[in-house]
Amino acid sequence: MGLIETRILTDHVYETIKLMIRDGALRPGAKINKKELESQLGVSQTPINDALSRLAGQKHIEQRNRRGYFVRKYSCKELVDLFAARGAVEGMATRLAVENASDAEIEQITHFFAEVSFPLSEAAYHAYERTDREFHSLLIEYSRNAIIQEMNEQFGYIVRTATTGLVRPPDETIGEHRAIIAAIRDRNARLAGELMTEHHLRSRDVLVKDCRD
């Protein structure tokens, strides 16, 4: 296998493991079984080792002496800081997305959360979690800002916060999501950005209270 093919395979394994962390297939604090990954992904140990080393360098996982790799488990204070950072970065990303997204892309955004109705079944709850991740990720993509996209790729704050699940229940955040979408639909970049920042800061405030308790 040539160098380019090896790099492509390693990138694929890296993205797959990162998604497994984000989606909860690999839980915070869990030890990563390289043999199981080898079987699941149908690859050798080499791309797995390369991907795990990369993920450890980005602090998504931890390498413990002689014990292997573990999915990083964040402290309450770390999560508070992460949501404060998300408020700042995604507030700007949302503002830029409104300015830079095409009409078709704006139309795509407006369909998020449109079908949500309460009460939610367990399946609908998990679907809401997935929609939440996709919505926030898409706004970063549509920001067309290479630095913001690189920050999320390298630092992975959406992946990091997603490992904890939803901080606040859907019936509390649905109104905020729809208000953000309404501002995006109206091409009100300033309001959309401010609503996004406030959205994350409210989650941060819940975590602050949890830390105190």
pLDDT digit string (tens) for 59-98? 888 999 888 999 988 888 989 999 999 999 999 999 999 9
Looking at residue 208, its amino acid is V
Find the angle CA(69)-CA(73)-CA(75) to the nearest 5 degrees: 145
Contact 98, 139 (CB under 8 A): no
128 HSE (CA, 13 A, CB side): 23
163 HSE (CA, 13 A, CB side): 25
Segment 117-169, tens digit of pLDDT: 999 999 999 999 999 999 999 999 999 999 999 888 777 777 777 777 899 99
For the chain, domains (ranges, CATH) are 3-71 (1.10.10.10), 76-212 (1.20.120.530)
Instruction: List the structure tokens of 198.
Output: 């406030």
Segment 183-209, tens digit of pLDDT: 999 999 999 999 999 999 999 999 999
Question: What is the structure's pLDDT at 158?
Answer: 73
- Is this prediction's pTM over 0.85? no
Q: Is 38 exposed, middle or buried (0-12, 13-18, 19+ CB in 10 A)?
A: middle
- 170 prior amide bond cis, ω within 30: no
Contact 58, 155 (CB under 8 A): yes
pLDDT exceeding 90 applies to what percent of the chain?
A: 71
Torsion of CA 148, 190, 166, 69, to 10 degrees: 10
Q: Is 83 exposed, middle or buried (0-12, 13-18, 19+ CB in 10 A)?
A: buried
Question: What is the structure's pLDDT at 3?
Answer: 62
Question: What is the structure's pLDDT at 213?
Answer: 79
Question: What is the structure's pLDDT at 22?
Answer: 79
Q: Beta strands of 20-162 (E only): which ranges?
A: 61-64, 68-71
